[in-house]
Every structure is written in C-alpha cells, then in structure tokens.
Amino acid sequence: MSLILDHVNYIYDEDTAMAHAALIDVNLQIPDGQFIGLIGHTGSGKSTLIQHLNGLETPTSGSVYFNGKDISDPDFNKKELRSKVGLVFQYPEHQLFETDCFKDVCFGPKNLGLPQKEVELRAYEALKMVGFDDEYFYQSPFELSGGQKRRVAIAGVIAMKPDVLILDEPTAGLDPKGREDILGLIKRLHDEMGITVILVSHSMDDVADYVERIIVMNKGRVAFDDIPVNVFAHYKELEEIGLAAPQVTYVMQELAKAGFPVDAKATTMEQAKNEILKAFGRC
Amino acid sequence: MLRDITLGQYYRTDSVIHRLDPRVKLVATFVFIMSLFLVKNFWGYLIAGVFLAVCIKLSNVPPKFIFRGMKTIFFLLLLTMVFNLFLTPGKELVSFWKFTITYEGLKMASMMAVRLVFLITGSSIMTLTTTPNNLTDGMESVLGPLKKLHVPVHEISMMMSIALRFIPILLEETDKIMKAQMARGADFENGSLINRAKSLVPLLVPLFISAFRRAMDLAMAMEARCYRGGDGRTKMKPLIYKKRDRIAYGVLYSYLLVAIVVGRILFR
C-alpha cells in the first residue's frame, strides 16, 4: 500500500489565456503509516496535489501509482481508490447535507455498497472515534459549532476505513482550543488505526509537534521533503517563500547565537524545554 | 465538466471589442439577434456568420473557449432539430417506417440550428468581453428612458450584475462540493436516471445553503456601506462614447442593412 507520484505536472485551464501550472515535476513517495505534513502557502499547489492522490484530478503529464497501479488507467477503479485514500476537504459545509449527523456519516460507507447493518456500525464507530457526543448524533449537522462540524466531516471519511487519510487545512477557522483538539484527534487516529495521514496546512507551528516528515510546496514544486529538523534548518529559505519555521526554532536559534550551549535543532516545545533545562544544568 | 459552462463568464484579455463601450455591445447583441430572426435565406445567415466570425477574431477570445459553452446546449439543439426535421409538412425527401423527412423540414431544422448557435455565440461574445460591472452600467444607461415609466431600472441592472457575478463563484463552489462528495464515493455520472437525480441531493443541499449564506453576507455588506438604490447615485467612471464606439455603431448598422437587404429582399 503506497502512493508514488512520478514526474507529475498539472496545468489548469490548459490552452486558454488563464492557463497556469499548478504542479511542476512533482516526485513523491508516500509509504505506509507515515504521518506527513504538507506545507505551502495559498496557491502553492498543495490542494491540487492532494486531489491527485485520490484521483479527483488526473495529471496533465506524468503518473500517479497506487499500489503499483497507474490511476490514470481507464480500467482503474477510482471508486475503490477513493475509499482507500480518504480526503477531508477544508470546509465541512461542502460535504454535510443530511438531516442528521449519523445519516451524514453513513453516506460514505453506503456508497461502498455495504449492507445497512455494516454501514450503521461503521458510522457509529467513526463518530465514536472522533469523540463525538451521543447526544448530537441525531441533530442537524448545520446547527453544530465549527469544531463539531469538522469532527462529523472527518468521521464521514474515516467511516469508509481508508488506508490513507488526507486532511486539507483541518484547523482553519478554529480557535486555539479547537485546533489543539482536532490535531490531537488526528494524531490519535494515526496511532490507533495505523493509517497514513497527510496533514495539509500553511502553519509550521501546527504540524511541527505531530508529523514525522514535512513536504514543503512552493509555486507548484516540492521545495523540501525531509524530517522536520532538517526542513526547519532551512528556516531562512522558508521565510523567502513566505513560510516560517515554528517559533521554537527562532527562540533556540537566538539562544544559540547568544552563546547558550543549546542544540538549535529542537523543533517541538518539549525538545526545546529539555534543551534549555540541560543548558542550565550545565551552567 | 463544469468548466464547460461559459455562460456569463468574462474572459480577461485586451482587444478592440473589450475596449468598446458596453452600450455599443448591448445594442450590437440586440441588433444581431434581431437580424437572425429577420433574415430568411442562406445568404443572410452567411453574412451573419461572417460578421460573427470577424467579431470573434477581433475579440481575441480563443474560439475553442467560446464553443466549449456550446456543449451545454447540445441537447436543446438536438431536440429542436429532430422535431423540425420530422414534423414539418411538405415535399417528401426520405421516408422510413412512420417517419418522413421533408425538404422543408430539413431546411427548417438547419435554419433553427444555425440560428440557435449564432444566438448563443453572439451573446456569449458580449459577456466574455465585458466585465459584469461594465455590463450593468451599460444596461442601466440603455434602459434609462424606462425610468420615466417607473420601471426600477437601477434595481434590475443591479440584480443582473449580482447574478452574473455569482455564476463563476457558484460554479467553483459546485465543483468543490462535487469533489468533496466524490471523495466519499458519490457517483454523479453513472446509474439510472432516478439514481442520478437522487445523487444530486448531496450536491444541491450544500450548494443552496452556501448560496443563501453568500446572499446574506452580500446584503449585509451592501447595507453596511449605506446602499439605498439608484436615487442620487453618481458614477466614478461615467460612460462616454469615443470615436471607436461611433465607428462600431456605423459598422453595426451597415451590417443590419446588408443582412436585411440580402436576407429578405435580394434573394427570396
């Protein structure tokens, strides 16, 4: 189970005056079970990229392989691909439509053609998995708060039991508490279900604590693709493309510059705390 | 699929047609449509076709882009043609089983088809080369005299411009919603007619909700800026006819004259 992108190019509105390349020569390998952060600012091609991973868009040139099969192949089963590679879009408003939350979550598994019992079981499991309260099960999804809507939207996708879960800006428009909740939830889903997770964001601070690999997109190209520490080491280049390393990185860099015996590579708050304590211990 | 709908879209580029006064383009579209219904023979349509082709060439909009919009009216076109082809009485041409194709039917069908295609193309050139804002200004100015009859001209043109403005936004939104539902295994393309109609529910509900939300946001934004209709409202860029607009009117009326003379009088 893995996804491979081989020299993928994608051009929007080909052969009109508005034509522009959204993806340029993208080569990626996404093995099983990784927790990946996909970073880039607006218009960097990250949304286009994730739509290639479940066949919503097909490359203008180049190929995407899922388990060794080319997804642009005419007899490739795209419906199956979409159940294996679950994509949660940025706005839950784009997918919620049923009269109550439970029915809405049933929509995905029902489309897989499962028997009714199985559909309901999966919906129940999924809603429980995202920590959704029983009392809201039969409430209209439109009456929920932003964070709760997002939970239902995520449940709607994981009810299909995907092997890869892609979330497009799952924290956009949430308050800090809601953000932490959702990110914690995603981390838990990754750990408990053992699935591959791709977290799309434009904030390094969001992903630094959770992911094991970061892919940075810039103007349709992959700018960096490495473990967080190595990516953040390029914090000057990141700034040039309109992104920034997590605040912790800056603090540590400044401390190191000021002569503190700390390792400036710390990327998470936890690591930084330990580094600083160690430094003081030595002093 | 949705990218095929070019109705009401603006194509951003620079050309003589783009720079024309919107009033000229509105009148031209009206005159062109009128001419299509006035001419009665092949030569008339040939002239209309040439006029249209010249306009497309001058507008710098790729013809491919204009004709992409044609796909959406394909069924309407087919239906009109089929009905005209089989149901017009006259001299028999071919006959099989219960169907008869007459010479008159064939003529009628092809005329209708040409007329429809020209009609759509002509009006899409106007919207493709005019920004919604300009179009509204032009509309308001052309319809100005009706104000004396208490027709709410300003309101009508405001509504029209808002409607035009929202077509691309709603299309984009539809595209996103479709993708979100397809990601959950929804199938919009296959299945029986009933199943396909049913599959539209997950698309239409979020779309309507978002359309209402947008409408309310817009109303609020307009009210916040003290919008209160057209009374006493002045323009930042009032419409003024330039030399090229006068030339365009000249060209337009000579076209109408030639089309009528050729299409109705010279060849009957």
Assigned domain for A52 exists: yes
Contacts A–B by Cβ distance under 8 A: 71
Instruction: Residue A203: give its domain's CATH number.
Output: 3.40.50.300
Least confident range from A6-20, A179-193, B87-101, B242-256: namely B87-101
For residue A119, the model assigns a pLDDT of 92
Assigned domain for A264 exists: no
Contact A2, A31 (CB under 8 A): yes
Amino acid found at A21? A
pTM of the predicted model as reported, rounded to 2 decimal places: 0.75
Mean pLDDT (chain A) is 85
On whether any CB of chain B is under 8 Å from the CB of A258, the answer is no
On whether any CB of chain A is under 8 Å from the CB of B180, the answer is yes
* B183/A54 touch (CB, cutoff 8 Å), yes or no: yes
* A95/B201 touch (CB, cutoff 8 Å), yes or no: no
For residue B207, the model assigns a pLDDT of 92
Gap between the Cα atoms of A231 and A51, Å rounded: 24
Assigned domain for A275 exists: no
Q: If you average pLDDT over residues B29-35, what whole number do you get?
A: 89
Q: In B, which residues are within 8 Å of A97 by CB distance?
A: 201-202, 205-206
For residue B268, the model assigns a pLDDT of 57
Assigned domain for A40 exists: yes
Gap between the Cα atoms of A116 and A123, Å rounded: 11
Token pair 């199943």 in the structure block, residue: B195
Q: What is the pLDDT of residues A71-125, one digit of tens each?
A: 888 888 888 888 888 999 988 888 888 888 999 999 989 888 889 999 999 999 8
Exposure string (b/e) for A10-44, b if CB count within 10 Å is 16 or more?
A: bbeeeebeeeebbbeebebebeeebbbbbbbeeeb
Beta strand extents in A138-261 (DSSP E only): 164-168, 196-201, 213-218, 221-226
* A17/B205 touch (CB, cutoff 8 Å), yes or no: no
Q: If you average pLDDT over residues B209-224, what whole number do you get?
A: 92
* A89/B176 touch (CB, cutoff 8 Å), yes or no: yes
Assigned domain for A113 exists: yes
Helices (H) and strands (E) in chain B, counts: 11, 2
Best A15, A77, A93, A94 residue to mutate vs chain B (most B CBs within 10 Å): A94
Mean pLDDT (chain B) is 83
Q: Residue B221 above 90 pLDDT? A: yes
**What share of chain A has pLDDT > 90, as a percent?**
12
For residue B212, the model assigns a pLDDT of 92
Gap between the Cα atoms of B127 and B142, Å rounded: 16
Assigned domain for A73 exists: yes
Q: In B, which residues are within 8 Å of A79 by CB distance?
A: 185, 187
Continuous segment of H or E residues that includes residue A224: strand A221-226
Could you give the C-alpha distances from A134 to A4, A85, A126, A238, B91, in angstroms and in order? 39, 27, 12, 43, 74
Cβ-nearest to B184 among A17, A142, A157: A157
Within 8 A by CB and 6+ apart from B200, the residues are B188
Cβ-nearest to A82 among B12, B62, B182: B182
Query: Domain limits at A156?
Result: 3-227
Q: What is the pLDDT of residues A217-231, one digit of tens each?
A: 888 888 888 888 888
Assigned domain for A39 exists: yes
Q: Which two tokens stand for residue A273?
A: 């705390």
Q: Residue A248 above 70 pLDDT? A: yes
For residue A88, the model assigns a pLDDT of 92
Q: How many domains does chain A have?
A: 1
**What share of chain B has pLDDT > 70, as a percent?**
96
Question: B86 versus B256: which is more confidently predicted?
Answer: B256
Q: HSE-up of A225 (CA within 13 Å, CB side)?
A: 10
| Alpha carbon A276 to its chain's center | 31
Q: If you average pLDDT over residues B203-229, what whole number do you get?
A: 91
On whether any CB of chain B is under 8 Å from the CB of A268, the answer is no
For residue B144, the model assigns a pLDDT of 82
In this structure, what DSSP letter does residue B97 have?
A: T
Q: What is the pLDDT of residues B174-199, one digit of tens each?
A: 989 998 998 888 887 777 788 888 88
Q: Residue A279 above 90 pLDDT? A: no
For residue B5, the model assigns a pLDDT of 59
